[in-house]
Amino acid sequence: MIEEPGPSDTVTAALVVIGEEILSGRTKDTNTPYIAAHLSNAGIALREVRIVADVEAEIVDAVNALRQRYAYVLTTGGIGPTHDDVTTDAIGRAFGVPVAINDEAVEAMRLQYRPEDLTPTRLRMARIPQGAALIHNAVSRAPGYMIENVIVMAGIPGVMQVMLDEVMPRLAKGRPLQARSVRVSAPESEVATPLAALQMAYADVQMGSYPFFEHRRYGTYLVLRSADDDRLAEALEALWRLIAEHGFAASQVEES
């Protein structure tokens, strides 16, 4: 049982990306950055991602490990009609519940398919673990679902996105972390010591440094994150003072 978090607590999530095609390098996984940004904007912190093959036992292991540790676990992929779509059976096994054709899912699919087109193969997409609540899918109708704190979505980005929009209102939200980023024209090794000192002084503000290499020169993005606007503004001011003291060239990065 997940406790309802207060609005100032951090709500955490993990993501399980299911698909051999991602592991083989054949398909680029665009869902992870999309989901990461979407959750982050809602004050839900994505803490871990696992990409696993279309193998039932591996999905069961990943989901069971993560659903104990995080407020929510989202999954993408493996709920289509073919023999390598094993996510729903894995979820049933992870929760120890039967999987069966769900009438509400069949009704939803009737909006897309004529009765004679609801073949046994297509009806595989209406198989839902017992106790799950459907997540409607206005794009292609075969639904996703939520069972306890696990949210099962399609892998096709356009379908995943409508399912995510549909399920977001049901989730507890934290206070969104705000981020401020500064681009410094100095290698990470030169900003490391002042940044570590700043982190000591503002232990409640997350500070990350991300090196980059552009135009044959090294530079560093410094990112400050906090759910508290005032503390974030204070830490940012202190960072600018440090940058001036060290004579680094730097510019603030617009947050999208």
Q: Which of residues 210-249 bind its own copies (CB under 8 A)?
A: 210-213, 218, 223, 225
The SS3 assignment for 93 reads helix
- Residue with Cβ nearer its own copies (46 or 172): 46
CB of residue 131 to its own copies, shortest distance in Å: 26
Q: Rule CB under 8 A: is residue 64 a binding residue for its own copies?
A: no
Residue among 74, 150, 191, 235 that touches its own copies (CB under 8 A): 191
CA-CA distance, 222 to 68, in Å (whole number)? 33
In the complex, minimum distance from the CB of residue 80 to its own copies, in angstroms, rounded to a whole number: 5
Nearer to its own copies, 159 or 167 (CB): 159
Instruction: Pinpoint the alpha helices (H) of 143-187.
Output: 157-167
- Do residues 250 and 183 lie in contact, with contact meaning Cβ atoms separated by under 8 Å? yes
If binding is defined by CB under 8 A, does position 180 make contact with its own copies?
no
For residue 225, how far is the Cα from the chain centroid?
18
For tokens 């676990």, name the residue: 73
Nearer to its own copies, 36 or 133 (CB): 36
199: phi then psi, degrees, rounded to nearest 5: -60, -40
Contact string 76-115 vs its own copies (x = CB under 8 A)? ----xxxxx-------------------------------
What single DSSP character describes residue 113? S
Residue from the set 26, 68, 111, 115 that interacts with its own copies by CB under 8 A: 26
Sign, CA dihedral 170-175-177-180, equals positive
| Residue of 221, 214, 154, 147 lying closest to 181 (CA atoms) | 221
Q: What are phi and psi of 103, to 5 degrees?
A: -60, -40
Residues in 4-23 that interact with its own copies by CB under 8 A = 17, 19-23
d(CA 39, CA 32): 11
Residues 156-175 that bind its own copies (CB under 8 A): 156, 158-159
Q: Which is nearer to its own copies, 54 or 166 (CB)?
A: 54
Of 50, 67, 93, 141, the one binding its own copies (CB under 8 A) is 50
Which is closer to its own copies, CB of 124 or CB of 173?
Answer: 124
Asked if 251 is part of the footprint of its own copies (rule: CB under 8 A), the reply reads no
